[in-house]
Structure 1
Amino acid sequence: MKKALFFTLIAFCCFFRTQAQEVFHDSTALLILDKVGAYFGEVNSLKFNTKTSQDVGFRDDFFIKEFRSGEFIIQGPNQLSAKVIAQGKPQYYFYNGSQIVYYSLEDKIFVASEAPDNTLDMLESLYTDFGIQLVAADFLYPDFAFHMTETMDYIEYLGEAEVHGQKCFHIGAANAEMTFQIWVSQDLEARPAKIVVTYLGEPYAHQVEVTFENWEINETYPDSIFEFLPPPNSKQITWTKKD
């Protein structure tokens, strides 16, 4: 099974490199992606868990693999709270529509910054300004399929696959800078089971893999869980934007 997956990924990358200058958008893949976007465009709240494997720059010519788990609650267009455990250390994020706060439980420090007025733009600015990729959220766009056609030269339905025993549709996409794979559940609710993004830039290709599980939809959460109250003996520090 592992050999089959390995050769599938090799074929996928080789196909893209030979076809990089052409545009190919498979209608079957777009129908599945459109269903994903429509689903998330209609829900009022989401709760889910993630397991992430990410290549992180250690030196200019060397990446190391880091693992983390996360629990996310997203409500409406502009509320988010998250608990992320990285290297055994719990970290928290609170977003209330105007401010994003990061809190380290172990170090008892927190930082706060003004943020855009919606969750998707906040997540993008968090990565652009501070280099923090909190969660892969491309699929949260109601116009997910359109967004993919605008940014990806190649999109194709790659067949059926299983992710942790769950039957899924496997879709691959690519442009000159990255390849993107998504496994979408075949259940009545079209939700991602796994996403893999491979960045092709210098100095070497590097990858992020996210598995999603334990979905809860349309629960009602109190506004207080998206607000940050500094715990006793905690200290605020400055959040410096990356160059």
Structure 2
Amino acid sequence: MKRIFYILLLLQMSAIMLFASSGTSGTVRTKTLYPMPAAIVMDAYRYLGKLRAFSVDAVTTNDDYFQGEMVATFTHWIHIDLQRPGKLHIEVDGDLKNRSFYLNDGRFTIYDKHLDYYGELEIPRKIDTALDTLFEQYDIKTSLANILYSDLDKRIPPKNKGYYFGTSEVDGHECHHIGFTNSVEEIQLWIEKGKRPLIRKFIVVDKTESYLPRSGTILRWYLNPKFSQAVFDFTPSAKTVQIAIESYAKGGK
């Protein structure tokens, strides 16, 4: 009888423990812990800001509402050479734009390959302040500017709620797949796991437009670039026409 009593007691205690660790359906619930998306993207921003030099090859796709009839997707190929504090070269080729940008210690040049004209400006020497000047005073948008700043973690800290979707491979690299959303846009990022938190891919959805245009970018990084200093110099041909770059005022030029 004592033996039977002990067996029944053990069975009862096991049932109580199982019920305590189960939901109402009787299935065991475990809480899975995921990395924080905000921490992942902030690590990526800080890592990029510390790089003194790099080259990047990127492929971008952008949606546009073509003639009010349908959504068309356009593709561009971008190459970037960067050397801090003040040297930058960007080549853009694709469906809509074919341009080159040069920043060489305070001298900025933009060259349109189709029209064969160029313009030059004297702007601040450092890349961060030079980009600010181009955007704010001349309304010149530089391709992939979000990876060029050295202090992006201070400029656009992710304040909105983030989501962790798991891991996936991009161009042979295992990446965290994360996302953020707010009232105007959604963004997904694929950031390399490990000691090199490089942004390998991102997708942005514009929620301000009814047709929800999407842009996507895949990045291939070279952290030990072999470019020469001549890559940051622009030399026009005899037929290339120089034009003036007018400053931009809010509300118009």
- Same fold at TM > 0.5: yes
Q: TM-score, normalised by structure 2?
A: 0.71
Is 1:167 the counterpart of 2:174? The answer is yes
Identify if the C-alpha distance between structure 1 residues 101 and 39 changes in structure 2 by more than 3 Å, giving closer, same or farther.
same
Check conservation: 1:47, 1:74, Cα contact below 8 A: yes
Provide the secondary structure at the position in 2 that maps to 1:40. Answer: helix
Q: How many percent of aligned residue pairs carry the same amino acid? A: 19
- Of the two, which has the highest radius of gyration? 2
Q: Shift of residue 84 of structure 1?
A: 1.3
Counterpart of 2:52 in structure 1 is 44
> What CA distance in whole angstroms lies between the structure 1 residues aligned with 2:96 and 2:206?
26
Is 1:79 the counterpart of 2:87? The answer is yes
Provide the secondary structure at the position in 2 that maps to 1:148. Answer: coil
- Provide structure 1 residue ranges, at least 5 long, that are not aligned to the other structure: 1-25
Q: Shift of residue 234 of structure 1?
A: 0.6
Is 1:65 the counterpart of 2:73? The answer is yes
How many residues get paired?
215
Identify if the C-alpha distance between structure 1 residues 101 and 143 changes in structure 2 by more than 3 Å, giving closer, same or farther.
closer
Counterpart of 1:157 in structure 2 is 164
Q: Give, as a single letter, the amino acid of the residue that structure 2 aligns with 1:77.
A: P
Provide the secondary structure at the position in 2 that maps to 1:37. Answer: helix
RMSD: 3.1
- Provide structure 2 residue ranges, at least 5 long, that are not aligned to the other structure: 1-33
Q: Match for 1:132 among 107, 120, 141?
A: 141
> What CA distance in whole angstroms lies between the structure 2 residues aligned with 1:164 and 1:43?
21
Structure ranking higher on relative contact order (CA contacts 8 Å, 6+ apart): 1
Identify if the C-alpha distance between structure 1 residues 88 and 27 changes in structure 2 by more than 3 Å, giving closer, same or farther.
closer
> What CA distance in whole angstroms lies between the structure 2 residues aligned with 1:88 and 1:147?
28
Check conservation: 1:52, 1:211, Cα contact below 8 A: yes
Is 1:101 the counterpart of 2:109? The answer is yes
Q: TM-score, normalised by structure 1?
A: 0.73
Provide the secondary structure at the position in 2 that maps to 1:231. Answer: coil
> What CA distance in whole angstroms lies between the structure 1 residues aligned with 2:243 and 2:65?
24
Cα deviation digits, residues 45-94 of structure 1 (max 9, x gap)? 01010000012465578653211001100110321001111228742110
Q: Match for 2:157 among 129, 137, 148?
A: 148
Q: Give, as a single letter, the amino acid of the residue that structure 2 aligns with 1:48.
A: V
> What CA distance in whole angstroms lies between the structure 1 residues aligned with 2:154 and 2:189?
12
Choose between structure 1 and 2: higher strand proportion.
1
